[in-house]
A and B are shown apart, each in its own frame.
Chain A
């Protein structure tokens, strides 16, 4: 194992290189671009045998990926923000045709007004598109999850596309030490894709047929089944990856949850800041904890309920707005997951960081204290809070 200084985007590109993909079809967009720039250099230098398709739009990027995936090839693409929005139609088709494509998404705000910085509006807007969604906290996780993503996507019980999300700029552009696996270790872990079906002229099949009222529903039902299978497959893949890398992964990661009275649940890089603040507060005797979701789709209902069943108050951090909805997307999912608990925690929804607005340790400390107050009083003073905005 070697520790190398890489940005999140570079770490993903390196993982894709080691994953021996057949096709990368992508279109540049900030803050994803470094992924495909680095990868195209690997192609130009002959370090990989991958076919790099420089498409003319993100819509065509995912279209080319679907075509390539149907041949049985291993396929990667990357995007962000407007690019993901332009792919929207194809997201549903990639999952509906059961193409195990892996996509790096350097999460970025959606226009208007136009903004290039990080928030989760892009992927949250695609949460019903049938893609498995994983969120990384740092460059190391982005690297590890990219390799694992291929194995999860291509599993016979899954056969679904996976998005590997990393916070725009905060992870995509920040250089960190990343512990890289040897190529040989990745080869042993991943092997080549063994597709269930392909468009082979020797065994002709029709893909993408028209399904009316008599069959469409059954296809969708099968996709639900595949999504449900992700959980078990992910556990197995994480366990195997632990054997290769020594690093522990799963649907979520907790900190201080064994005795926490108040907790924060969030996705991505914010978890690191929240953990540092929690560590400080716990040293002061305050019982706080953090739950970081690695897996957002399928939503790990049981793991989330198990992690949160003892807390009295919970702050759910949403880095996107769901206009007109009861809560932000993550909060709505958490509320749904917890409603079967005998004693539900009091829930505070914190919308933060839109358009890349910084979230500081003092912001998080304020929320922890608010949550501790809520736990003590048993009353939610403010159901939804916009953290760090000028009102």
Chain B
């Protein structure tokens, strides 16, 4: 654990960026910068953080930062890591540089999963952070493979026949762990200490590491922007988003929620689930979500028991 005093006062992610008030991505960027151990390069996928922090000729980044495209942050990071290694072999480079790829859930769960899988399989030494706000927020809130069941997005609208997204969220950590990498974890910015420690751990691991960070989106989740951190705390307290890690083949629960709040408490504060409450109370869908939350929690407990 780290104390606030121990964190660097230096802000490598500058203020003045144009992310929305209450956006989780700015908070995650800042926390990530607090966890660095030395010279670092950021590779960004196309997404909100990219478009809102580097509007030419301005930049919020006081360390090298490169955006190439939407689906390839992991591939670009592979090239950077191996280029530094190659230049070091011929004596043209003598610094150890940490490489962090940052992408949204669209760029990770969906269009970027192939590039991510390839990079994990090849074992490059880099950290991959997914800002998981559970939809394509940058293009105006479309459903992704990370969007939860029942959530309304512009491409999974709550209609008279279909009440929001019919499918369930992908298990990203399971997918990453199946590659046999050393470290994968979930994190919530509501637990800053856990979040920062995990980023640092991911950097220190010799090989690829992945962190899926739940990122509140006032615009897409449709909640009060002043309550963003509360939202991602509730997500944990309801067991909706369990905080755990996979390290060298072992799963570990980092935050045990012994007395969970009903998931309804998390859902009811967000417009994306509003159709489950008004005009009619859709108990069946809310129950389905609760059952899924319980089953997922038990699945993770079992993994952690092994």
Q: Which residue of B lies closest to A23 (CB)?
A: B83
Alpha-carbon gap, A339 to B43, bound state (A): 47
Q: Which residues of A contact B228 (CB under 8 A)?
A: none
Mark each residue of chain A from 147 to 162: 1 if its CB lies under 8 Å from any CB of chain B, else 0. Answer: 0000000000000000
Q: How far is the CB of B113 from chain A (nearest CB, A)?
A: 11
Give the Cβ gap from B185 to chain A, nearest Cβ, in Å: 24
Q: Say if the beta carbon of B301 comes within 8 Å of chain A.
A: no
A25 at the binding interface (Cβ < 8 Å): yes
Inter-chain contact B121/A56, CB cutoff 8 Å: yes
B86 adjacent to A67 (CB under 8 Å): no
A22 and B80 form a contact (CB under 8 A): no
Q: How far is the CA of A178 from the CA of B96 in the complex (A)?
A: 41
B64 touches which of A90, A201, A209, A215 (Cβ 8 Å)? A201
For B89, give its contact among A49, A65, A215 (CB under 8 Å): A49
A67 / chain B contacts, CB cutoff of 8 Å: 43, 66, 68, 75-80, 83
Tell me whether A93 and B68 are in contact (CB under 8 A). yes
Shortest distance from the beta carbon of B32 to any chain A beta carbon, whole Å: 15
A207 an interface residue at 8 Å Cβ cutoff?
Answer: yes
Give the complex CA separation of A204 and B36 in angstroms. Answer: 15
Contact A63 B115 (CB under 8 A): yes
**A residues whose Cβ falls under 8 Å from a Cβ of B:** 20, 22-23, 25, 49-51, 53-57, 59-61, 63-73, 75, 89-90, 93, 97, 192, 199-202, 204-212, 215
Does B302 have its Cβ within 8 Å of any Cβ on chain A?
Answer: no
Residues 44-73 of B at the A interface (beta carbon under 8 Å): 44, 50-51, 54-57, 59, 61-69, 71-72
B97 lies within 8 A of chain A by Cβ: yes
The smallest C-beta distance from A39 to any residue of chain B, in angstroms, reads 13
Chain B residues with a Cβ closer than 8 Å to the other chain, count:
47
Having A64-B75, A64-B82, A72-B83, one finds 7 other A-B pairs with CB under 8 Å, namely A53-B78, A56-B115, A56-B117, A64-B76, A199-B41, A204-B65, A209-B59
Check B80 against A71 for contact (C-beta < 8 Å). Answer: yes
A63 and B72 form a contact (CB under 8 A): yes
- Counting from the closest, the 8 A-B pairs by CB-CB distance are A67-B79, A56-B118, A64-B79, A201-B39, A208-B67, A60-B75, A68-B83, A63-B75
- Closest B-chain residue to A22, C-beta based? B86
In the bound complex, how far is the Cα of B32 from the Cα of A244, in angstroms? Answer: 51
> A209 contacts which chain B residues (CB < 8 A)?
54-57, 59, 67
Contact across chains for A204 and B63 when beta carbons are under 8 A apart: yes
**Contact at A63–B62, with CB atoms within 8 Å?**
no
Chain A residue contacts of B92, Cβ below 8 A: 192
For A69, A90, A210, the residue with the greatest tally of chain B CB atoms inside 10 Å of its CB is A210
B55: chain A residues at CB < 8 Å are 209-210, 212
A71 to B57 CA separation, bound complex (whole angstroms): 21
In the complex, which residues of chain A have a beta carbon less than 8 angstroms from the beta carbon of B50? Answer: 208, 210
Contact A56 B83 (CB under 8 A): no
Write out the residue numbers on chain B whose beta carbons fall within 8 Å of the beta carbon of A70: 66, 80
* Contacting residues, chain A, for B121 (C-beta < 8 A): 56
- Our pick among B57, B65, B67, B86 for the contact of A73 (Cβ within 8 Å) is B86
The reply to whether B69 and A63 contact each other, CB–CB distance below 8 Å, is: yes
In the complex, what residues of B have CB within 8 A of residue A192's CB? 92
Given the complex of chains A and B, what is the CA–CA distance between A55 and B76 in angstroms?
11
**B79 touching A215 by the CB < 8 A rule?**
no
Of A25, A54, A65, A66, the most chain B CB neighbours within 10 A belong to A66
Measured CA separation A93–B75 after assembly (Å) = 14
Contacts of A204 in B (CB 8 A): 61-65
Contacts A/B (CB < 8 Å), 23 sampled: A51-B83, A51-B89, A55-B75, A55-B122, A56-B118, A57-B114, A59-B75, A60-B115, A64-B75, A65-B79, A68-B83, A73-B83, A75-B79, A89-B69, A90-B69, A199-B65, A201-B64, A204-B61, A206-B66, A209-B55, A209-B56, A209-B57, A209-B59
Partner of A90, one of B72, B82, B85, B87: B72
B95 at the interface (CB under 8 A from A): yes
CB-CB contacts below 8 Å: B15-41 with A: 39-41
Which residues B93-131 have CB closer than 8 A to chain A? Answer: 95, 97, 114-115, 117-118, 121-122
Q: In the complex, are the beta carbons of B82 and A206 less than 8 A apart?
A: no
